[in-house]
Amino acid sequence: MNIHFKTLLPLFVLAMALINPFSDFSAQTPLSSQLFSKFDALRTAVNDEERALAHSELKVFIREILTDYDSSESLFEVFENWPAGIASAGKGDELVTVISWNSERQDRTEDYGAFVIYGFEGANLYDSFKWTELVHDRDEDPSDESRSYRVDDWPGAIYYELVLTHDGKTPIYTLLGWDGANAQVTRKIMETMIITNDRVRIGVPYLNRPEGIRKRHVLEYSDALQSTLRYDFENDRIVLDRLAPSDPSLAGATAFYGPTMEYDAYVWSKGKWKFLQNVEVKNSRDKERHRPYNDPREKN
């Protein structure tokens, strides 16, 4: 059973922006040194062949740690030293942690890796656990919001946040992720995940949109811009940018889309994520953008 990182300068820039809930800046050990070495090989690869090899070796390294697991300390050490995407939610037998990374090819498309770690048991919580690898399928369309995915046809993302809700007694895990896509567009992705009988399923129908139930929500926008998709803990909702093209004539061409400074949100209600339009968001960081992406004053 069996996570990834845009080229590796953005990889480590992104890693610094992600919050590792386990990190306490502990001193390096042999295991953490090996982990950093694997990521360093990925960062310093000079061509796609070297990068693919480093990516594969990183996956093998993580599989070996999880398969030959010998102590709770070793797993916790991986978590606290993980330099890429890591997201965790729940407690007890509902605790789930997802680690992920990417490798950017020379054509600026992405390869991803990820591991879902769950089923924690034991007096020290990490004494026993289960894990599943997510296998990236580059032939899948990441912008398809109607698809569910098995672990072997996953469209790929770096996950930076995990939100736990419940449909009755069933835990529903909502993943917020980043997809570097290509040289024209970037994506932010919201998708739900369930684990039943040790089977991980990503993209389940829990997003209640005006046009009907969807399995994923994908924001696709200009590669040169940034977009908001985050969990608003204070108001218990997921907030996302309203996107629009820089000019109405470019409608449908997402490489020209960007944030409008208007926001929508999802709130968990009656076992579904309910979509709300035009919500108020107070966030000082958004003031740095000054004006909407498609503000006509920018053309003057």
What's the first-to-final CA gap in the chain, in angstroms?
56
Q: Is residue 111 domain-resident? A: yes
Look up the pTM and report it.
0.86
Look-up of token digits 């054509």: 107
Q: Is residue 266 domain-resident? A: no
Q: Is the pLDDT of residue 251 over 90?
A: yes
Q: Is residue 260 domain-resident? A: no
Taking each helix axis from N to C terminus, what angle separates 72-81 and 30-44, rounded to the nearest 10 degrees?
Answer: 40
Q: How confident is the model at residue 38 (pLDDT cuts 50, 70, 90)?
A: very high
Q: Is residue 31 domain-resident? A: yes
Query: pLDDT tens digits for 80-136?
Result: 999 999 999 999 889 999 999 999 999 999 999 999 999 988 767 667 889 999 999
Instruction: Specify the number of domains making up the chain.
Output: 1
Q: Is residue 298 domain-resident? A: no
Q: Is residue 142 domain-resident? A: yes
Q: Is residue 290 domain-resident? A: no
The pLDDT assigned to 293 comes to 43
The pLDDT assigned to 194 comes to 98
Report whether 12 contacts 83 (CB < 8 A). Answer: yes
The Cα 275–Cα 124 span in angstroms is 39
Query: pLDDT tens digits for 124-164?
Result: 766 788 999 999 999 999 999 999 999 999 999 999 999 99
Q: Is residue 278 domain-resident? A: no
Q: Which domain does 98 fall in, by range?
A: 8-234
